Amino acid sequence: MDSIRQVRSELTVTDPAEAGFDPARLGRVDSLLRRYVDDGRLAGCQVLVSRRGKPVLFSNFGQRDKEAGLPVEPDTLFRVYSMTKPITSVAAMMLFEEGAFELTTPVHRFIPSFKDARVYVRGNAAAPMTVPATEPVRIWHLLTHTSGLTYGFFHSMATDEAYRSAGYEWAWPDGVDLAGACDTWASLPLAFQPGSEWNYGVSTDVLGRVVEVASGQSLDQFFAERIFGPLGMSDTAFWASEEDQQRLAVLYAMAPGRPGPVRYDPLGKYALSHPSLFSGGAGLVSTAADYHRFCRMVLNRGELDGVRLLAPRTVGAMSQNHLPGGADLEDFGRPIYSEVTYSGTGFGLGFAVVDDPVKAKSSSNRGELSWGGAASTAFWIDPVDEVICVFMTQLLPSSTYPVRSELRQLVYQALID
């Protein structure tokens, strides 16, 4: 009960009209999400919208555990999966500000196994033809997903199959730590020459290992001491403790031949115990309240409630499109599963960045930062209108329904000032 009272005190909803929202129009957001729950597409979900740091909407729908009949509540914990990535990127940039590395520093300075990286040319996963990388994988490549690293769950390239063969699809082999995983990934062919394309993959996990080596701390320790503690994110960690597991939403997934989501405990169980591998790309559980505090820090250009993690200039650099020539993901990225639309969207240092809202067919402003998680969670930060939205649910895969883009559409139509 203490956690519920804390969340409610931190997220007291203010009058939407005072923040420039039409209350009746904002009610369309609730109607949308209620339909998703009522018709069985989502077991439950939660949304938090704020402007200038003041919440104007905080709503809970459905159940965090359908089988047990437990509702989504203000302090429900969710697996945020790839929404871990921006936090790892902030951790890396904190070390950048301390002079631990430059953006152009080769990754092999911290992880020696990356020194002789090779690049896939053709052939199958068992016997690929490769060539030497023309330049080393650099910190900048990890932050922008231009490293050539990939994910095993894509099933689109021979390099993906090599990851699966090594035991890396949605999880990792039992007992493997982050150092061991990085050495394995370094031994596998890159999908392309570093810096030549954008491809979603384990880049941010490798970046997490750089944070560990550069700081001399495990990633969970660095996060707890340098980010979560200072920001008051008391409900965010790499696993839900035994006492908190009753608050953790069940992970659901779409299954062939089934009309709606089914419980997916084989993957969901990874959030129930101390992991051997601290995944900087996908490992955290959190609450909407906690993640909102992280977003507020970014919106405030590195500072929250008197605590500064990053300089404004650093946040500004992270918020720009770093893809070569200002390209968007449609032109520079591989046509694969992603957490955002490709057209009109570039990529900064750890965040997707809207470069052209018209091309993106979006109501967003230029400079909006965002990302999402594999279980359909999402956030965005609009620095122009000072709007933050955090959406939580637990449905794999995130491409099942267009709820995240519909949510953005309905939030912006309610903003009248």
Sorting pLDDT into bands at 50, 70 and 90, what band is 341? confident
Separation CA 87–CA 103 (nearest Å):
17
DSSP state string for 283-312: --EE-HHHHHHHHHHHHTTSEETTEESS-H
- Model pLDDT for residues 183-211, shown as the tens digit of each residue: 999 999 999 999 999 999 999 999 999 99
Report, as an integer, the average pLDDT of 364-377: 96
| Domain identity same for 50 and 97 | no
Given 151, 183, 215, the domain boundary residue is 215
359 secondary structure, DSSP code: T
| Domain identity same for 298 and 348 | yes
Within a domain: 186: yes
- Kindly state the tokens that stand for 52: 């200038």
- Kindly state the tokens that stand for 178: 């982050």
| Domain identity same for 171 and 204 | yes
Within a domain: 38: yes
| Domain identity same for 181 and 270 | no
pLDDT on residue 399: 85
pLDDT on residue 4: 52
Sorting pLDDT into bands at 50, 70 and 90, what band is 12? confident
Within a domain: 135: yes
- Kindly state the tokens that stand for 145: 């997903």
223 secondary structure, DSSP code: I
What residues make up the domain containing 150? 89-215
Within a domain: 220: no
| Domain identity same for 42 and 108 | no
Q: Label the pairing between strands 129-132 and 118-122.
A: antiparallel
Within a domain: 94: yes
- Model pLDDT for residues 141-159, shown as the tens digit of each residue: 999 999 999 999 988 889 9
| Domain identity same for 361 and 389 | yes
Neighbours of 29 (CB within 10 A): 23
Sorting pLDDT into bands at 50, 70 and 90, what band is 340? low
Separation CA 309–CA 315 (nearest Å):
10
| Domain identity same for 187 and 58 | no
| Domain identity same for 93 and 67 | no
Within a domain: 408: yes
| Domain identity same for 390 and 287 | yes
Alpha carbon dihedral 44, 382, 333, 361, in 10-degree steps, equals 80
| Domain identity same for 200 and 280 | no
pLDDT on residue 258: 82
Given 182, 215, 248, the domain boundary residue is 215
Within a domain: 390: yes
Given 215, 246, 280, the domain boundary residue is 215
Q: What is the pTM of this model?
A: 0.96
| Domain identity same for 16 and 104 | no
Within a domain: 251: no
pLDDT on residue 155: 85
315: helix, strand or coil: helix
| Domain identity same for 118 and 204 | yes
**Of 119, 126, 266, which is closest to residue 194 (Cα–Cα)?**
119
**Of 178, 145, 152, which is closest to residue 283 (Cα–Cα)?**
178
As for how many domains the chain has, the answer is 2
- Model pLDDT for residues 82-133, shown as the tens digit of each residue: 999 999 999 999 999 999 999 999 999 999 999 999 999 999 988 999 999 9
Which amino acid is it at 338?
S
Report the CATH number at residue 73: 3.40.710.10
